[in-house]
Structure 1
Amino acid sequence: MTSDIARDILVDGHLNSGQAVTVRVSAHAIQRYRERVRELPEDQIADELNRLFALCPIKPGSPTWTPGTQRPLMHLAVGGTVMIALDPDPLDQSRLLARTTLCTGAFSRRTSRSRRRRTR
């Protein structure tokens, strides 16, 4: 994998209603996007995320497949299998914060267990 992303980026998005909104995409969300969706060099990731947020509307709630009890207030759905979790940005309430990137069916149980063991 290429070098880890060490900084957040700002992108322009829009709500289902069409209202424009700025999103701060955390370094963690970027890193998870690169691991789980598409591995891109750091200089190309901002362009990729800008295109996604321009094309896909931000929807309320979270998909039914989202694991855990901590569900985001909003999400950006990329197709039916990728979700970028969004909540109000604690640093600036006028924008949203992309906290992480999740995928459904991206990893087998064996791969997930193996990854968890390596990170311990």
Structure 2
Amino acid sequence: MKTELDEGQGQKVGSRMRLSGRVFGVELSVEEMVTERIPPRRKVWESTGAPKLLVIGHYRMGFELSPHGNGSMLRVFIEYALPESGLALWLGRLFGQRYARWCTRQMVDDTVKNFEASLTTQRSI
């Protein structure tokens, strides 16, 4: 997928991002906008316009990071609608929930990698 960012770089409320690409020969695209951001604790973004996706329609997703004991607790979420009609609706009914789980798992894994890289850098200083 190709990612295009506006001047806000996805780092402030109102920033816009566009993702596009091909999967199994099908052209996919979605535009997103940041709707909430409280660094480093919370960020929420949602699709805008008419997303061209295979298994989900409009969505809202984000994360919350909070202190927990000697560490942090991460909560990742996605709320989505099924596509409106056709093959995408059928695929959404079959795979939408699995895709949503995959998306949130990717966010968790990326966060863990980011924190691990940060710890490694701090230890080497």
TM-score by length of 2: 0.26
Higher relative contact order (CA 8 A, sep 6+): 1
Larger Rg: 2
Q: Which structure features the higher share of strand residues?
A: 2
